[in-house]
Structure 1
Amino acid sequence: MNWDSISRRLISLGEKPLTARDRGLSAALLRLLGGEVPPPFAVRRFLPLPTLSYAPEDLHTGAPGERDFGPHVDQTNYSVVVAEKVVVKWLTPPVPLPHPTPEIFGHLVEAGFNDTAPPYAALTRTVDGGEELLALVTGYLPEARDGWEWCVDQAEAGRTDFARELGRLTADLHLALATWPAPQAVTRDGGTGGPMARAGAALREALDATDGEDGAWLATRAPALLRELSPLAEPITSPLIRIHGDLHVGQILQWRDGYAVIDFDGNPTVTDAEPYQPAARDVAQLTTSLEHVAQVAIRRRDVPPAKAASWAAEARAAVLAAYSARLAAKDRADLLDVRLIRPFEVEQECRELIYAARHLPRWRYAPMGVLRTWYPEENIS
């Protein structure tokens, strides 16, 4: 394929998303990314692409082998693995720029953060006077599994050794992102109306969206939840940094050589989220996701609830200890205000309930299981 044939397919992406029938397009694109890209397309390069090898079965195509991740992988976009070395993530549909991922890729490379899939390039095009992101090109991580698989295994086995590495990785990510200067216009709202207004609105929506026995139970805990949110009414004094924005265990891959954080697209369920927020928000989403892992282990692996709750508490404590120790070792303990973790955790559980009501009703068991663990019958006053 040359640029003429590739460009015709790329121009049609908005109306006709990429599928398995487009075999060869991703590999052909990679061959051409090393040279000049004709308009209306453009490429932003971050790291040099690796050399792509050819398997015997690919000789007739003239391109390295391609495969997708298969139907078992639940993903919004369409990703193609080329030569077991590179992943081309096609945005379906293309999204308008600015988009957070290319910006974050460039900064992480500059900051020397390596605990992610190597970012190679972003392909864009000009259309109707604006720019769209068509594809992101990153390294392939062999034997990778996301946290909804490997971390559930850990919960079932009662192991928490991994948590120290997650805390270190998260701290290093925040240390890298903290070197990104915030624009002058950034506010300390963290979203429309300030942190307390935003969290309070999430609580009210969660109460309205949760029906039946769960809704009745949640209503009895509403005063306690509101009290947990109260620190957000105080001025936020910790630094505002560019956060990941959707940091849960599903975004952390366990692969052949360790752990890697991925997916810097931001939180798809919170449209008004300010990208510059306290680090505690990312930390809180990560710790609540460990609680969700425990609920998954209870439901899918028959782990006793008391054992799962104990595992989640131990893993959470280990993540926070390692995270704090890493910040302290780098003289940046100021990045984390521990007072904000619990209110952000409560807000996150409200948002999980909202997400379940809007998009995935069967998920409601997880945030409800966490909240029932946090607020047992004897602790509702």
Structure 2
Amino acid sequence: MTTSLQALLAGWISGQRWFAGKGRAIDELTVISDIELTDDDPGMRHLVLAVRQGENVDHYQLLVGLRAELPDRLRHVEIGPVEFAGRTAVAYDGLHDTALTRLLLRAMSGGEDFGGLRFRGDAGLRTDLRSLVVTAEQSNTSLVFGDIYILKLFRRLNAGLNPELEIVSALAERGSPHVARPYGHIELEGTTCAILQEFLAGASDGWSLATTSVRDFYASPEGLGAADVGGDFAAEAERLGAATAEVHQELAAAFPTGELDRDDLVLLATGMHKRLEHALSEVAEMAPYAEGIMRVFDALAMLGRAETVQRVHGDYHLGQVMRTTDRWVVLDFEGEPGQPLAERRALSSPLRDVAGMLRSFEYAARHLLVPEAGAAEPAAGSDQALEEARAAEWAAHNRAAFMNGYATGGTDPRDHAVLLRALELDKAVYEVLYEARNRPSWLRIPLGSLEEYRQP
């Protein structure tokens, strides 16, 4: 491709929702890999861009479509006119063109190689399906093919095997019912570019189910408990806990495990203290809770027993699980996308995932109390104390159900209360800092769940 496309991309990429460097100037954009997949009209090229912003360099992948004339249905993803190989074409985001995306299925089904770009997949893949871009994602782009497959393309690339492909493949080989079956993938010189998996048609995500239960509870007459309302979520929370424990057992069987000794726990607690100190320096509202939280971190440093570590999900919450007609399915094993790959693949306590889900129940219970979250205003005559009491009741009810379900797997999280509470509070500190920076009106959510740590 010519430098004219490179110049176009420098202006275009900063406006994409998956671009991680928003708000910072792009100092340099370089096309470091350019592989032609088809030279027809439409044509398609796979590009990897190196984007430098200050001292930071990130790598992004694009599937660029090329057409002599761009139809109106693709105008919204136009990059611009370019010249190459003696002809002029209009470049655009090729993932929105089903005429091109079918080529990806055919290449995976056929196990084709294009230079260093390798397509691998089941030989029996259907290759005649139309694709639709999922618009809700922030950091990646997913395509749904018919109601059978979903292809997740990682926009920002990290060198090496992506944890999601690694874990889902391992668990699928073990026959786990709690992962979406993998059908294929794309890789570039050992780096995972995309994963094709089973599309869970008709499934509902855990966040939607939980928040529907919260709405039912808030709309119920005063005096009814969370367990008395028709939309009680506790049975599903318990099934989710059991499914989570099964996934952790399968991960422990499929990958190496280890232990955190006392020195490791001291280091872990030290890191938690540092993150709390950083949050205190930015968020004044955190001050009344600091002493109580510090005591929990101190207790972790004094813990006199080893704790097991293994591969975990790493970014576990209600939005990462789907309920089908017969089971819970866990999605997105890639961990925190912004973290280095080595960190995302590192061993950690399975209680880290438990803590993440417990925090998610707190968010589900309280997010409707924030007016701009899209919820109805509180009922006339209600006050914040009553709202918080009902939120705390729903969260406690479903947290207990989740841990009861998890305990059926043989380990009760409450038997490791010191580590679990420290991990949960460390997550809450992160949430406070995130909300203060990005959604100040949501600061009420994490702070509202910390009342027991407030000092007079």
Give TM-score scaled by structure 1 length.
0.81
Letter in 2 for 1:132: T
Describe the shift of the 1:335–1:103 C-alpha distance in structure 2 as closer, same or farther (beyond 3 A).
farther
Describe the shift of the 1:288–1:375 C-alpha distance in structure 2 as closer, same or farther (beyond 3 A).
same
Q: Specify every segment of 5 or more residues in structure 1 that has no aligned partner in the other structure, as ranges.
A: 54-62
Q: Specify every segment of 5 or more residues in structure 2 that has no aligned partner in the other structure, as ranges.
A: 1-35, 50-59, 64-92, 218-231, 379-386
In structure 1, C-alpha distance between the alignment counterparts of 2:160 and 2:414, rounded to whole Å: 29
Q: Is this contact kept in 2: 1:123–1:135, CA < 8 A?
A: yes
Describe the shift of the 1:64–1:293 C-alpha distance in structure 2 as closer, same or farther (beyond 3 A).
same
In structure 1, C-alpha distance between the alignment counterparts of 2:414 and 2:252, rounded to whole Å: 8
Q: Which residue of 1 aligns with 2:6?
A: none
Residue-by-residue CA offset, 1:124-177 (whole Å, 9 max, x unaligned): 012xxxx33221111111123333322111222241221111111110110111
Pairwise CA distance, 1:309: 1.3
Among all aligned residue pairs of Structure 1 and Structure 2, give the percentage whose two residues are the same amino acid: 25
Q: Which has the higher strand share?
A: 2
Q: Which residue of 2 aligns with 1:10?
A: 46
Q: Which residue of 1 aligns with 2:423?
A: 344
Q: Which residue of 2 aligns with 1:201?
A: 274
In structure 2, C-alpha distance between the alignment counterparts of 1:285 and 1:204, rounded to whole Å: 21
Of 263, 267, 270, the residue aligned with 2:332 is 263
Q: Which residue of 2 aligns with 1:125?
A: 188
In structure 2, C-alpha distance between the alignment counterparts of 1:156 and 1:88, rounded to whole Å: 33
Residue-by-residue CA offset, 1:2-56 (whole Å, 9 max, x unaligned): 95459952235746464554333332211221223223122455xx476538xxx
**1:89-238 equivalent positions in 2, closer than 5 A:** 89-126=152-189, 131-158=190-217, 159=232, 160-182=234-256, 194-210=267-283, 215-216=284-285, 218-233=286-301, 234=303, 237-238=306-307
In structure 2, C-alpha distance between the alignment counterparts of 1:191 and 1:10, rounded to whole Å: 43
In structure 1, C-alpha distance between the alignment counterparts of 2:421 and 2:268, rounded to whole Å: 13
Q: Is this contact kept in 1: 2:406–2:412, CA < 8 A?
A: no
In structure 2, C-alpha distance between the alignment counterparts of 1:273 and 1:3, rounded to whole Å: 31
Q: Is this contact kept in 2: 1:238–1:335, CA < 8 A?
A: no
Describe the shift of the 1:363–1:10 C-alpha distance in structure 2 as closer, same or farther (beyond 3 A).
farther
Pairwise CA distance, 1:256: 4.3
Residue-by-residue CA offset, 1:181-220 (whole Å, 9 max, x unaligned): 4278x8669999721011111211221221xxxx24x212
Pairwise CA distance, 1:76: 1.3
Letter in 2 for 1:155: V
Q: Which residue of 2 aligns with 1:280?
A: 351
In structure 2, C-alpha distance between the alignment counterparts of 1:190 and 1:132, rounded to whole Å: 34
Describe the shift of the 1:235–1:100 C-alpha distance in structure 2 as closer, same or farther (beyond 3 A).
farther
Per the alignment, in what secondary structure is the counterpart of residue 116 of structure 1?
coil
Q: Which residue of 2 aligns with 1:313?
A: 396
Letter in 1 for 2:364: V
In structure 2, C-alpha distance between the alignment counterparts of 1:201 and 1:274, rounded to whole Å: 23
Per the alignment, in what secondary structure is the counterpart of residue 271 of structure 2?
helix
Describe the shift of the 1:192–1:96 C-alpha distance in structure 2 as closer, same or farther (beyond 3 A).
farther
Q: Which residue of 2 aligns with 1:254?
A: 323
Per the alignment, in what secondary structure is the counterpart of residue 253 of structure 2?
coil
Q: Which residue of 2 aligns with 1:75?
A: 138
Pairwise CA distance, 1:337: 2.5
Of 87, 104, 109, the residue aligned with 1:29 is 104
Pairwise CA distance, 1:251: 0.6
Describe the shift of the 1:168–1:31 C-alpha distance in structure 2 as closer, same or farther (beyond 3 A).
same
Greater CA drift, 201-210 or 316-325: 201-210
In structure 2, C-alpha distance between the alignment counterparts of 1:202 and 1:227, rounded to whole Å: 14
Give TM-score scaled by structure 2 length.
0.68
> Paired residues, what number?
349
Per the alignment, in what secondary structure is the counterpart of residue 297 of structure 1?
helix
In structure 2, C-alpha distance between the alignment counterparts of 1:89 and 1:349, rounded to whole Å: 29
Q: Which residue of 2 aligns with 1:60?
A: none
Letter in 1 for 2:450: L
Q: Is this contact kept in 2: 1:190–1:276, CA < 8 A?
A: no
Per the alignment, in what secondary structure is the counterpart of residue 231 of structure 1?
helix
Greater CA drift, 242-251 or 191-200: 191-200
Per the alignment, in what secondary structure is the counterpart of residue 204 of structure 2?
coil
In structure 1, C-alpha distance between the alignment counterparts of 2:413 and 2:449, rounded to whole Å: 29
Letter in 2 for 1:104: I
Describe the shift of the 1:113–1:341 C-alpha distance in structure 2 as closer, same or farther (beyond 3 A).
same
Letter in 2 for 1:199: M
Q: Is this contact kept in 2: 1:199–1:229, CA < 8 A?
A: yes
